[in-house]
């Protein structure tokens, strides 16, 4: 039994999500190989070789693999998958894009976004945005699985000494081309990877008032989020939306400010480690899941909060 | 050019689902069902492309029980031209749905196929990618912007940490993210009109597709519940608790 992990990287650095998948693969009990597919990505292969628990690194280096195009990367996985019992990737936008394509090419089902491994063929995964956990058995000859990074401890980035083996690059299917990339502004952490998220709801009352949250987010080095009600009201952009139809987050600290706590919002943030709710309505449902609830007018509480935090 | 759109009937996003006490699944008897929100965005995008003269016909397809007809009628009311129900009462998993859609794809030969990026019930996020693989065409997942030109689709995709833009040759498969558009409200006259639009029913068997489930769900459980928290009297106490008790801020 050997697992192949599709590494996520930017051709220079291995992304930390890969370490979590290596951590998960350790639970399977077999050997762990890592596929680094990219363009000019030999450094990444060297980094992957140092990850604790990795037995071998496969390096597929070609220009058409440089931009994470699903068609090209999936083809590379397809070329190698037959030798493996498991093929794993992080359940990130990259892994979710590539792995189902590779699985279908092998006529195999895929288990998405697992949060626990019961045995080499049995996995737990959230459904209904985390409102239920399904335990699923996969009897496919190759088990294709995407792994929710936050659910598994990362493997140590150092301590391994795997060999790096070059493998031939699979041909470019020639159906897609990379055009451009626009990275999110780096002045604030990304919503899904942030340690702290400050989220606002309809209680903010206007787009201008959302700027009050920006100060707090800056002070805490937090990402900004919003409830669907706030997005629908035009107070915040759609990509800030946390909830069942928006982004699912699980930060160390989630501050829900002026958010009543509709079901669909709770589904997107209830796995956060610590939840704080500030709302003037003492009966708001958000208080039922908040670790710390403060019944207060947010326009009074926010300035006080900034003052207490020393700003 | 035809556009094929796949729509799924799911538990409405406002419903809080409950796990059955015997762990055999989620109780969806007598709960409100709606079109998967991402699929609604897919239908809207297809209809806008036809309205802009970029497509000639929008075909919607749904796979599942008879009640999926309601979902298809909603898609027709948004503006799709005709509907196909691939009817089965069996559990359908993403690979099976992708195979069914591939059979429809071969029959209809759409230039563009649009799906929601994931269904909000099983949260799989697989079907579009699998369909693209089976059809041997390009894919652009998590689309927040779509433009058609010269036999290709230029698609801006929402990825972790930003946006990336790709050009995929047509025919292609696109899956929608939330920012692609805001679906229109369906008006009563359009609901009436939708009742008269053609809706064909076919089975997976008639399409020659083996739609058997590959994954076996052993049990379904409630997630670990959060323990009840506390109320703090003021901001100073809150900050003190976050610093010294929860240790999540400096």
Q: In three state form, how does the secondary structure of A106-152 look? A: CCCCEEEEECEEEECCEEEEEEHHHCEEEEEEECCCCEEEEECHHHC
- Phi and psi angles of residue B138, each rounded to the nearest 5 degrees, phi first: -75, 160
Q: How confident is the model at residue B228 (pLDDT cuts 50, 70, 90)?
A: confident
Least confident of A84-93, A236-245, B32-41, B207-216: A236-245
Residues of B in contact with A226 (CB under 8 A): none
The pLDDT of residue A187 is: 75
What is the C-alpha separation between B240 and B245, in angstroms, rounded? 8
- Give me the residue from B120, B133, B231 closest to A74, CB to CB: B133
Contact across the interface for A128 and B123, Cβ inside 8 Å:
yes
Global pTM?
A: 0.91
Q: Is the pLDDT of residue B115 over 90?
A: yes
Q: How many CB pairs under 8 A join A and B?
A: 254
Looking at residue A237, what is its pLDDT? 85
Task: Please tell me which residue of chain A has the smallest CA distance to B243.
Answer: A309
Strand order across the beta sheet in which B215-221 lies: A116-119, A122-127, A132-138, B215-221
Q: What's the pLDDT score for residue A264?
A: 86
Q: Are the beta carbons of B213 and B93 closer than 8 angstroms?
A: yes
Q: Do B223 and A68 touch (CB under 8 A)?
A: no
Cβ pair B120:A140 closer than 8 A? no
Judging contacts by C-beta atoms under 8 Å, the chain B residues touching residue A193 are 160-161
More confident residue, B188 or B160: B188
- Residues for chain B: how many in total? 250
Closest-approach residue (CA) in chain B for A271: B226
Q: What is the DSSP letter of B119?
A: -
Relative to beta strand B138-149, strand B152-159 is antiparallel
**B107: three-class secondary structure by DSSP:** helix
Of A96, A183, A288, the CB nearest to B161: A183
Statement: residue A185 has pLDDT above 70: no
Taking the C-alpha atoms of residue A57 and residue A221, their distance in angstroms, rounded to an integer, is 35
The reply to whether residue B137 touches residue A175, judged by beta carbons under 8 angstroms, is yes
Mean pLDDT of A80-107: 97
SS3 assignment for A208-256: HHHHHHHHHHHHHCCEEEECHHHHHCCCCCHHHEECCCCECCCCCEEEE
Which residues numbered 1-60 in A keep a CB inside 8 Å of some CB on B?
none
- Name the maximum alpha-carbon separation found in chain A: 63
pLDDT recorded at residue A239: 81
Q: Look-up: residue for tokens 């945005």?
A: A129
Nearest to A177 among B37, B131, B167 (CB): B167
**Is the Cβ of A275 closer than 8 Å to some Cβ of chain B?**
yes
Weakest-pLDDT range from A149-163, B76-90, B129-143: A149-163
State the best of B153, B163, B223, B250 to mutate against chain A, taking most chain A CBs within 10 Å: B223
Give the closest-approach CA distance of A26 to chain B in angstroms: 23
Q: What percent of chain A has pLDDT over 90?
A: 86
For residue B171, list chain A residues with Cβ-Cβ distance below 8 A.
none
Closest-CA residue of B relative to A137 is: B216
Confidence tier at B32 by pLDDT (50, 70, 90): very high
Residue A72 banded pLDDT, cuts 50, 70, 90: very high
Residues B183 and B167 sit within 8 Å (Cβ to Cβ): no
Concatenated DSSP letters of B38-64: HHHHHHHHHHHHHHTTS-SEEEEEEEE
Q: In whole angstroms, give the CA distance from residue A165 to residue A181.
A: 30
Confidence of residue A34 (pLDDT cuts 50, 70, 90): very high
CB atoms within 10 A of CB A292: 23
List the 172-201 stretch of A: residues with Cβ below 8 A of B. 173-184, 190, 192-193, 196
- From CA B10, how far away is CA B34, in angstroms rounded? 6
Min Cα distance A301 → chain B (Å) is 6
* Cβ atoms < 10 Å from Cβ of A1: 11
Note whether A276 and A294 are within 8 A (CB): yes
Cβ–Cβ under 8 Å, residues A6 and A58? no
Indicate whether B93 pLDDT > 80.
Answer: yes
- Whether A113 contacts chain B with CB within 8 A: yes
Q: How confident is the model at residue A186 (pLDDT cuts 50, 70, 90)?
A: low
* Assigned token pair, B31: 């709960």
**Nearest CA distance, B144 vs chain A (angstrom):** 10
CA B142 to chain centre: 11
What pLDDT, on a 0 to 100 scale, did the predictor assign at position A263?
Answer: 87
Across A129-138, A155-164, A262-271, B95-104, least confident range: A262-271
- Residue A294 gets which letter from DSSP? E
Query: Which tokens in the block code for residue B160?
Result: 């972790």
Contact A274 B169 (CB under 8 A): no
pLDDT at residue B87 tops 90: yes
Q: Regarding predicted confidence, which is higher, A211 or B83?
A: B83
Residue B13's DSSP bridge partners are none
**pLDDT band for position A311 (cuts 50, 70, 90):** low
pLDDT score recorded for residue A204: 95
Q: What pLDDT score does A123 carry?
A: 98
The sign one gets for the Cα dihedral A105, B212, B118, B127 is positive
Q: What is the pLDDT of residue B242?
A: 95
Summarize the confidence of residues A80-84 as an average pLDDT: 97
């Amino acid at each position: 039994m050997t697992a192949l992990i599709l590494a996520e990287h930017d051709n220079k650095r291995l992304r930390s999500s890969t370490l979590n998948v290596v951590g998960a693969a350790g639970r399977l009990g077999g050997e762990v190989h890592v596929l680094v597919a990219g363009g000019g990505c030999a450094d990444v292969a060297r980094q992957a070789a140092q990850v604790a628990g990795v037995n071998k690194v496969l390096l597929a280096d070609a220009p058409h693999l440089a931009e994470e195009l699903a068609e090209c990367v999936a083809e590379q996985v397809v070329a190698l998958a037959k030798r493996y019992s498991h093929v794993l990737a992080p359940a990130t936008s990259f892994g979710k894009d590539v792995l189902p394509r590779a699985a279908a090419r092998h006529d195999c089902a895929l288990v998405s976004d697992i949060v626990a491994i019961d045995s080499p063929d049995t996995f737990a995964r959230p459904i209904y945005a985390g409102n239920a956990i399904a335990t699923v058995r996969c009897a496919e000859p190759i088990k294709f699985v995407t792994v929710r990074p936050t659910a598994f401890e990362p493997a140590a980035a150092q301590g391994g000494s795997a060999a790096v083996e070059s493998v031939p690059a699979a041909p470019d299917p020639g159906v897609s081309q990379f055009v451009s990339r626009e990275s999110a502004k780096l002045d604030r952490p990304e919503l899904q990877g942030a340690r702290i998220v400050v989220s606002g709801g309809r209680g903010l009352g206007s787009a201008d008032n959302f700027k009050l949250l920006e100060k707090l987010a800056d002070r805490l080095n937090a990402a900004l989020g919003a409830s669907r009600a706030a997005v629908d009201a035009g107070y915040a952009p759609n990509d800030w939306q946390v909830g069942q139809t928006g982004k699912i987050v699980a930060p160390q600290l989630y501050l829900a400010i002026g958010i009543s706590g509709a079901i669909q919002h709770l589904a997107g943030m209830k796995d956060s480690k610590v939840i704080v709710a500030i709302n003037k309505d003492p009966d708001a449902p958000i208080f039922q899941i908040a670790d710390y609830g403060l019944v207060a007018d947010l326009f009074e509480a926010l300035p006080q909060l900034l003052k207490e935090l020393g700003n | 050019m035809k556009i094929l759109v796949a729509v799924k009937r799911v538990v409405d996003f406002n419903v809080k689902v409950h796990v059955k006490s015997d762990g055999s699944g989620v109780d969806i008897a007598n709960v409100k069902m709606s079109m998967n929100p991402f699929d609604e965005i897919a239908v809207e995008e297809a209809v806008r492309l036809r309205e802009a003269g970029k497509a000639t016909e929008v075909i919607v397809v749904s796979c599942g029980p008879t009640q999926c007809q309601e979902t298809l009628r909603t898609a027709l009311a948004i503006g799709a031209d005709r509907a196909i129900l691939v009817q089965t009462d069996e559990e359908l998993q993403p690979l099976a749905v992708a195979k069914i859609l591939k059979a429809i794809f071969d029959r209809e030969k759409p230039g563009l196929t649009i799906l929601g990026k994931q269904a909000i019930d099983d949260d799989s996020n697989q079907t579009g990618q699998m369909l693209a693989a089976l059809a041997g065409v390009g894919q652009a997942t998590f689309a927040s912007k779509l433009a058609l030109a010269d036999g290709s689709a230029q698609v801006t995709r929402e990825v972790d940490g930003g946006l990336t833009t790709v050009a995929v040759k047509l025919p292609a498969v696109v899956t929608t993210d939330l920012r692609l558009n805001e679906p229109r409200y369906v008006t009563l006259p359009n609901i009436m009109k939708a009742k008269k639009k053609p809706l064909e029913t076919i089975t997976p068997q008639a399409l020659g597709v083996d739609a058997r489930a590959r994954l076996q769900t052993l049990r379904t459980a409630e997630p670990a519940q959060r323990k009840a928290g506390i109320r703090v009297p003021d901001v100073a106490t809150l900050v003190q608790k976050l610093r010294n008790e929860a240790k999540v801020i400096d």
